């Protein structure tokens, strides 16, 4: 006889292994402290809301609802709306990789692409190659498939393909951010891109090139995309999150058609398709030359803030052989290196308790294994300039007490 439950209290479900809520981590707890309103936060990964092109989006939304409401509000094809696929194929082609609309698919944010790619490529225990440190959201997405992570070798100039050896044999794919990497802000040279593509061919793994920040250069355009060196085995991810609005949840994947077909089948099970309405608004904004009008202002804003933070680090950080930081030429992040014996989580607790409380993300959050504790990810784009100066001064004062 089966037992029936007579009480009406909400029971705790017997969660699946991957669905079980995670216990709160030390990092999670200190990040929650950093979210208090009085804290100067360099912790966020959000783009600056000052950069949202509200008027252009409103005009485009009005145009879509006036000209094609029946299409815009209807279900649509899983791969994306033709007008948007064409606009994105054109952008990719302008970036040096001739791309046709059928080599593009739309996703609900590049985060969905990461989830889909992991599911389509990996079974439990398969090798997945990641940079160290890397974007933690990708690690969370990949972990659902229980792969075996293998770290790719990196140095001060980012991923170093010369040091890739037989440890990568059998890997399904390498997840990399060649341009303005999250969390370090580093960009790998064209030469390293070429060599990485050669290694991918030699060891027969795919390249997942995540490129959310490539348009956010401060002065010069970044090197040509990694996909240009191995288009037959690269999936390049893009997103509207950092150039238009993250609330749109709109990203894309460029790559060989047969793989996009497998990904489309997976996407159908996940959400049928990305919002038709948002896709049409975006296509209209792109068609109206958003990139030439709106992006230069965002680039200027980010370049200005990066400069304020870099100048402040130079002015206030203690002169110490083991204190250094990256000098990004685009994107949203600076990676601060501390002496090996300084744990950045301890430093953050100290700064949060100071008169000028400051938050950042302790570097430990960005590793799969052998985490290095002596780094901080600093994001500057949403913080007013005078607070960037005060915040860096406060971090520097606290750091002095550890030296």
Q: What angle do CA 171, 114, 378 make, to 5 degrees?
A: 100
239 binds ligand PMP (CB under 6 A): yes
Q: Which two tokens stand for residue 326?
A: 């990256």
* C-alpha distance from residue 245 to each of 11, 73, 394 (Å): 39, 20, 32
User: Among residues 57, 210, 298, 334, which is the contact residue for ligand PMP, using CB under 6 A?
Assistant: 210
Residue 76 vs 110, nearer CB to ligand PMP: 110
φ/ψ of residue 17, rounded to 5: -60, -45
Q: What is the dihedral of CA 27, 29, 31, 35, to 10 degrees?
A: 180
If one asks whether residue 187 binds ligand PMP (CB under 6 A), the answer comes out as no
- Indicate whether 103 belongs to the interface with ligand PMP (CB under 6 A): no
Longest dimension (CA), the chain: 75
Nearer Cβ to ligand PMP, position 214 or 391? 214
Return the CA Rg of the chain.
22
One residue of 231, 251, 255, 362 binding ligand PMP per CB under 6 A: 251
Closest residue to ligand PMP, based on beta-carbon distance: 109
Query: Which member of 122, 241, 374, 379 binds ligand PMP (CB under 6 A)?
Result: 241
Residue partners of 116: CB distance under 8 A and separation at least 6: 107, 263, 266, 267, 270
Print burial letters for 124-162: b (CB count within 10 Å at least 16), e (below 16). eebbbbbbbbbbbbbbebbeebebebbbbebeeebbbbe
Q: How far is the CB of 217 from ligand PMP (least distance, A)?
A: 16
Which C-beta is closer to ligand PMP: that of 140 or that of 165? 140
Cα separation, 75 vs 93, in Å, equals 29
137 or 153: whose CB is closer to ligand PMP?
Answer: 137
Binding mask 23-62 for ligand PMP (x = CB under 6 A): ----------------------x-----------------
Token pair listed for 186: 């580093």
Give the nearer residue to ligand PMP in terms of CB position, either 245 or 347.
245
Please report how close the Cβ of residue 45 comes to ligand PMP at its closest, in angstroms: 4
Q: Give, to the nearest 10 degrees, the angle between helix 110-121 and helix 257-271.
A: 110
Nearest Cα to Cα of residue 71 among 58, 81, 79: 81
Which of 80, 185, 222, 246 forms a contact with ligand PMP (CB under 6 A)? 246
Nearest distance, CB of residue 249 and ligand PMP, angstroms = 7
- Per-residue x/- track, 283-322, ligand PMP (CB under 6 A): ----------------------------------------
Shortest spacing between CB 213 and ligand PMP, in angstroms: 7
d(C-alpha 111, C-alpha 196), whole Å: 23
User: Residue 379 CB, nearest distance to ligand PMP (Å)?
Assistant: 10
Size of the site for ligand PMP (CB under 6 A): 14
Per DSSP, helices labelled H in 162-256 are 190-203
**Least distance between ligand PMP and beta carbon 4 (Å):** 44
| Interface with ligand PMP, residue 212, by CB under 6 A | yes
Candidate segments 11-19, 81-89, 106-114, 195-203, binder of ligand PMP by CB under 6 A: 106-114
DSSP 314-358: HHHS---TT-EE---SBSSEEEEE--TT--HHHHHHHHHTSSS-E
What the block records as the tokens of 76 is 């649509």
Q: Shortest distance, CB of residue 150 to ligand PMP, whole angstroms?
A: 19
Q: 51 vs 109, which CB is nearer to ligand PMP?
A: 109
- Could you say which of 48, 68, 120, 137 contacts ligand PMP (CB under 6 A)? 137
* 158 touches ligand PMP (CB under 6 A): no
Q: Are 343 and 349 in contact (CB under 8 A)?
A: no
Minimum separation from the CB atom of position 313 to ligand PMP (A)? 22
CA dist 392 and 388 (Å) reads 6
Give residues in contact with ligand PMP (CB under 6 A): 45, 109-111, 135, 137, 177, 182, 210, 212, 239, 241, 246, 251
């Amino acid at each position: 006889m089966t037992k029936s439950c007579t009480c009406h209290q909400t029971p705790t479900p017997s969660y699946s292994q991957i669905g079980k809520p995670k216990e709160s981590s030390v990092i999670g707890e200190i990040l929650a402290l950093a979210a208090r309103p009085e804290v100067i936060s360099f912790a966020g990964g959000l783009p600056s809301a000052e950069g949202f092109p509200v008027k252009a989006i409103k005009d485009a939304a009005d145009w879509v609802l006036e000209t094609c409401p029946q299409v815009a509000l209807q279900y649509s094809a899983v791969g994306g709306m033709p007008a948007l696929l064409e606009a994105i194929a054109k952008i990719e082609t302008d970036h040096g990789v001739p791309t046709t609309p059928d080599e593009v698919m739309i996703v609900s944010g590049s985060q969905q692409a990461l989830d889909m790619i992991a599911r389509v490529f990996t079974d439990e225990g398969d090798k997945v190659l990641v940079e160290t440190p890397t974007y933690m959201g990708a690690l969370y997405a990949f972990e659902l498939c229980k792969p075996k992570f293998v770290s790719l070798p990196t140095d001060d100039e980012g991923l170093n393909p010369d040091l890739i050896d037989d440890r990568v044999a059998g890997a399904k794919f390498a997840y990399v951010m060649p341009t303005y990497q999250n969390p370090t802000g580093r960009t790998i040279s064209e030469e390293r891109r070429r060599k990485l593509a050669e290694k991918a061919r030699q060891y027969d793994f795919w390249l997942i090139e995540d490129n959310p920040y490539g348009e956010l250069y401060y002065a010069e355009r970044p090197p040509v995309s990694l996909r240009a060196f191995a288009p037959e085995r690269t999936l390049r991810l893009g997103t509207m999150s950092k150039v238009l609005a993250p609330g749109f949840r709109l990203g894309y994947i460029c790559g060989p058609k047969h793989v996009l077909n497998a990904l489309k089948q997976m996407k159908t099970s996940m959400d049928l398709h990305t919002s038709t309405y948002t896709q049409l608004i975006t296509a209209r904004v792109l068609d109206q030359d958003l990139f030439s009008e709106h992006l230069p202002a965002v680039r200027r804003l980010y370049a200005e803030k990066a400069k304020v933070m870099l100048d402040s680090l130079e002015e206030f950080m203690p002169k110490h052989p083991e204190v250094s930081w990256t000098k990004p030429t685009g994107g949203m992040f600076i990676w601060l290196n501390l002496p090996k014996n300084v744990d950045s989580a301890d430093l953050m607790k100290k700064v949060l308790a100071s008169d000028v409380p400051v938050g950042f993300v302790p570097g430990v959050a960005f590793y799969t294994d052998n985490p290095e504790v002596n780094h901080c990810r600093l994001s500057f784009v949403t913080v007013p300039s005078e607070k960037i100066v005060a915040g860096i001064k406060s971090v520097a004062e606290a750091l002095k007490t550890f030296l």
